[in-house]
Structure 1
Amino acid sequence: MISNSKILAVDRNQRNLELLSQFLHKEGYQTMMASSFEEFALAIDPPHNIGIALVDISGFDRRIWDCCEQLRSHQIPFLILSPKQSAVIQQESLHHGARSILIKPLAVRQLLSLVHSLLGEPP
């Protein structure tokens, strides 16, 4: 059973954001999209029943980590989507509360498995 919780998708690239949202919608999830810090702030204040967040750090400056801290303070689990494998990105992500890091291009099964797990759904 799909959760009532929404998935917040954060990505600077509008086209990637739309594709991710369409994919999640086809899987039965409701999504909210944010492509800027301002949209992010609106999405989480109040948190609007957000179950998890998918945060693509590409194109954002270091303030993206402040957004991650806000997710953590609202107790919203989140995944970091990264353009490359990097020990620094992995360390920053985990330090700021990420549950996991996925390297792009995304493996659909892995993404769905993590989404199910973080929302407390059966696989």
Structure 2
Amino acid sequence: MSDAALIFALGKQERNLELLADLLKDGGYDVEIATSITEFDRLLERRDDVTIAVLDVDGFTEDIWKRCKQLNDRDISMLVLAAQISPHMRQKAISRGAQTLLEKPIEKADLQATIRGLMEYIRMNR
């Protein structure tokens, strides 16, 4: 097992998750991906060392917000990605513990900077 921070990524589009994982791995992070809520739940049961969860909420049902609450209860920082972030979605995500929301498409540099910022925040506050 590596000393690198572990990031979970959840999304419906496997190719997008693979690209995200490659980008994060290039940044020195360990990454596990899931394309379904069931797969995500299994990963979360297996691992207790998750630092950040990146959740692409597009295509998921309201169950995604239950997972956000579970992640928040476990003190796992969250970054929520979506094609459109309405005020209602922003309120839902933040009320369930998401620290950051980004609207797609996302520039690689913006995503990397956001992840680095979350990691810095985690280091300073835990």
Corresponding residue for 1:106?
A: 106
| Bigger proportion of residues as helix | 2
Q: How far, CA to CA, are the matches of 2:96 and 2:33 in structure 1?
A: 21
Contact 1:55 1:80 in 2 (8 A): yes
Deviation at 1:120, TM superposition (A): 2.2
TM-score normalized with structure 1 length: 0.89
Contact 1:56 1:82 in 2 (8 A): yes
Deviation at 1:85, TM superposition (A): 3.0
State the one-letter code of the partner of 1:81: L
State the one-letter code of the partner of 1:114: T
Corresponding residue for 1:62?
A: 62
Q: How far, CA to CA, are the matches of 2:36 and 2:116 in structure 1?
A: 26
| Residue 49, structure 1, aligned to residue 49, structure 2 | yes
Report 1 or 2 for greater relative contact order, CA contacts < 8 Å, sequence distance ≥ 6.
1
5+ residue gaps, structure 1, are: none
Say how many residue pairs are matched: 120
TM-score normalized with structure 2 length: 0.87
Q: How far, CA to CA, are the matches of 2:51 and 2:61 in structure 1?
A: 25
RMSD (CA atoms)? 1.7
Q: How far, CA to CA, are the matches of 1:38 and 1:85 in structure 2?
A: 24
Deviation at 1:18, TM superposition (A): 1.0
Q: How far, CA to CA, are the matches of 2:7 and 2:113 in structure 1?
A: 14
Q: How far, CA to CA, are the matches of 1:26 and 1:45 in structure 2?
A: 26
State the one-letter code of the partner of 2:24: L
Corresponding residue for 1:33?
A: 33
Deviation at 1:46, TM superposition (A): 4.2
5+ residue gaps, structure 2, are: none
Corresponding residue for 1:15?
A: 15
State the one-letter code of the partner of 1:116: R
Identity level (%): 31
